[in-house]
Amino acid sequence: MTKQTVDILLTNGYLVTMDNRMSLYPNGTVAIKDNLIVALGPSDDLEATYEATTVIDCQNCIISPGLINAHTHVPMTLLRGLADDLRLDVWLYGYMMPVEREFVGPQFCYIGTLLGCAEMIRSGVTTFCDMYYNEAEVARATVEAGMRAVLGQTILKFPSPDASNYDESLAYCRRFIEEWRDHPLIIPAVAPHAPYTATPDMLQNCVTLATEFDVPLHIHVAETALEQENSVSQYGTTVVSWLEQYNLFRAKVIAAHCVHLHDNEMRTLYHYRAGVAHCPSSNLKLASGTAPVQKLVDLGLHVGIGTDGPASNNDLDMFEETRLAAFLQKGVFGDPTLLPAKTTWALATIEGARAVHIDHLTGSLEPGKRADLSVIAMANTHQLPRFARDPEAVYSQLVYATKATDVRDVIVDGRVLMRNRELLTLNETDIIAEAEQIARRIDAFLTAREGNILSKLLAISTDFIPQETFEIQVKLRLPELIDINEVFSEAGIETYRHSSRDQYDTYFLFEDPEAGRLRFREDEVKNERGELQETFYTMTLMGPTVEKEFENSVLLTRARYTASANQSLRFYREYFKPKAEQEVVKKRRRCHISYKDTDFAINLDQPSGAEAGNVYLEIKSRTWSAKDALRKAELIGELLEKFQVKADSQLKVEYVDLVTQA
């Protein structure tokens, strides 16, 4: 009998098929022709039937379906280790987003993907599910590496590194889908980033696009408790219900994270056959929590495992991720029988394929499926000894005692991508050189920024116009509270634009006084009845010194940069890491006057704390030139004479200096 010729025979391996019966063949062979698995089974049978041009002996190795990395942002390999041990907002708004705005583009995404693919192939991953920018470049690199991928082009309601608005992103995404949808390795997808970065209109456009081309829709869902809280307070409903309102689940959804779900949300996801991508490392590292994976699995949901981006992990190692998934369910939900090894290996392979909606192609070793698999050494020191009593101990060995570096060979779509740990499709030396070059540029950018408080402030301020303003001002301590209207009326000057407010200032002080200091101010503006009318927050960078002193001791204070503060005080504290902090609290009455066609602001301040009981009067005006400053100093001198305020003393420092000196 003539043997049938195939391209590759993997012989004498321990086959872990992950098929519907979870078949195991302790001495098995896989036959591959073109990009398909054509047969598998006991080695004796297969070797009698097939011959191949390439025969790979897999003795002492497991042959498993390749791992499915169900959620990642692959180009972020280039941001690995850039900033760690930070709170989510500081990490994201302080580091990731400013650097992405500056550096992310086609070349970044291309090189980052090549680096990520090299790492993933080395750790037995054959398919990944991405969400990032410039996905056409991610696709180009993925195909070059020879990997399979579900690639989601990110859509955001605000400008992103590859689009100035979501219409542009949607148009890009449509072109991307049209270009790549027939590629044997690439499954394009639409990726509205998250409910909280989407508008209903944007979401509906994404669903329309995904259903028109029948491609998956990849989205972050309920990653943090805060996201759920905000959803309920803003929209009156939980995250998944809100998404359901806009028919999101008409598309084939891949929901990443799902850490904080209510029971009815889990049922909704199940009802619509949405896939879930569990990212245990990232959820721990960013302190988001732990998804109830066993519960989701018990409900019948398809859950895959993902590394998330390498900036929050900090690697793409699916072996670590899989092991952690099992450990974490047991430890966090208090039951060591949760997520046993067999179930966990299924999540990393066939369930992952189901979760990202491509189990018709990959995820298990079965005739007719694409040849996506890895050959994993099973006789290294840290894996031994092995016990043969329970055939299912092989899953335990894979999940609990095997490392990414035990992966020996990787095949995707019938093509050998790694053989004896040597990458066959990628030139790692070149990729690393390019990656290091980009890292040097990011380093330079951040070093410059971190060395300068203004640059750090600029990096996180979207509405900030970096304009220096100078003020000319005088500050007097009064013996008692006065009525400003009365005092100025008596001097023949009308006051206008009155306001009253409580001001809570926190000053950040730095090692080098020349660096200036930052003021975080909470302004509680009161109406005429003394009720809270409005609260606003500003962040001001103040120059350290007084520039000049005029007659009558009018002072010219130096540069100030002010922006509205849309983050919390805690955020700024962790972002700027001040050496010390100082609080100043005061009641301020403010009005404006016009004197000789020049506008002056008048503040009557009553500080709390050490300065309690004191009353200060400030007269100030902005100025732009030396000549203008001189004129305004003269005018302030005239004003002081004119209304003859009886002052105890003149103050040449800021309130914060009074407190700091005390």
Give the residue among 99, 167, 157, 156 at the shortest CA–CA distance from 133.
Answer: 156
Name the phi and psi angles at 294, rounded to 5: -60, -40
**Cβ 556 to a second copy, closest distance in Å?**
36
Convert 583-599 to b/e letters by CB count within 10 Å (16 or more is b).
ebbbbbbbbebebeeee
Quick one: CA dihedral 473, 479, 480, 482, positive or negative?
Answer: negative
The footprint of a second copy on residues 385-404 (CB under 8 A) is 385-389, 393, 396-397, 400-401, 403-404
Candidates 27, 208, 290, 469: give the one binding a second copy (CB under 8 A): 290
Q: Does 430 bind a second copy (CB under 8 A)?
A: no
In the structure encoding, which two tokens stand for residue 596, read together? Answer: 């000789």
Candidates 21, 382, 529, 627: give the one binding a second copy (CB under 8 A): 382
- Residue 563, strand partner residues: 539
Give the residue among 104, 194, 182 at the shortest CA–CA distance from 139.
Answer: 182
Q: Does 279 bind a second copy (CB under 8 A)?
A: no
Candidates 91, 103, 572, 600: give the one binding a second copy (CB under 8 A): 91
Give the residue among 74, 114, 94 at the shortest CA–CA distance from 571.
Answer: 94
Q: Does 506 bind a second copy (CB under 8 A)?
A: no
Helix axes 428-450, 106-122, angle to 10 degrees: 120
Candidates 36, 97, 232, 284: give the one binding a second copy (CB under 8 A): 284
The footprint of a second copy on residues 562-601 (CB under 8 A) is 574
Q: Toward a second copy, which CB reaches closer, 150 or 328?
A: 328
Give the residue among 213, 193, 268 at the shortest CA–CA distance from 237.
Answer: 268
Q: Toward a second copy, which CB reaches closer, 56 or 291?
A: 291
Burial of 105 (0-12, 13-18, 19+ CB in 10 A): middle
**Cβ 246 to a second copy, closest distance in Å?**
31
- Residue 55, strand partner residues: 9
* Residue whose tokens read 């403010």: 590
In the structure encoding, which two tokens stand for residue 127, read together? Answer: 């398919």
Q: Does 105 bind a second copy (CB under 8 A)?
A: no
The footprint of a second copy on residues 625-654 (CB under 8 A) is none
The footprint of a second copy on residues 59-88 (CB under 8 A) is 77-78, 80-82, 84-88
Burial of 381 (0-12, 13-18, 19+ CB in 10 A): exposed
Indicate the helix (H) or strand (E) that contains 564: strand 555-564
Q: Toward a second copy, which CB reaches closer, 37 or 61?
A: 61
Q: Toward a second copy, which CB reaches closer, 205 or 314?
A: 314
Candidates 30, 56, 115, 170: give the one binding a second copy (CB under 8 A): 115
Compute CA distances 83 → 149, 240, 286, whole Å: 27, 31, 12
Q: Does 171 bind a second copy (CB under 8 A)?
A: no
Q: Give the count of residues interacting with a second copy (CB under 8 A).
A: 78
Q: Does 196 bind a second copy (CB under 8 A)?
A: no
The footprint of a second copy on residues 295-334 (CB under 8 A) is 313-317, 320, 323-324, 326-328, 330-334
**Cβ 105 to a second copy, closest distance in Å?**
17
Q: Which of the stretches 167-175, 434-442, 509-517, 624-632 binds a second copy when contact is defined by CB under 8 A?
A: 434-442
The 338-377 site mask, x for binding a second copy (CB under 8 A), equals: x-xx------------------------------------
Candidates 24, 55, 92, 442: give the one binding a second copy (CB under 8 A): 442
CA–CA dist 657, 662 (Å, integer): 8
CA–CA dist 356, 187 (Å, integer): 10
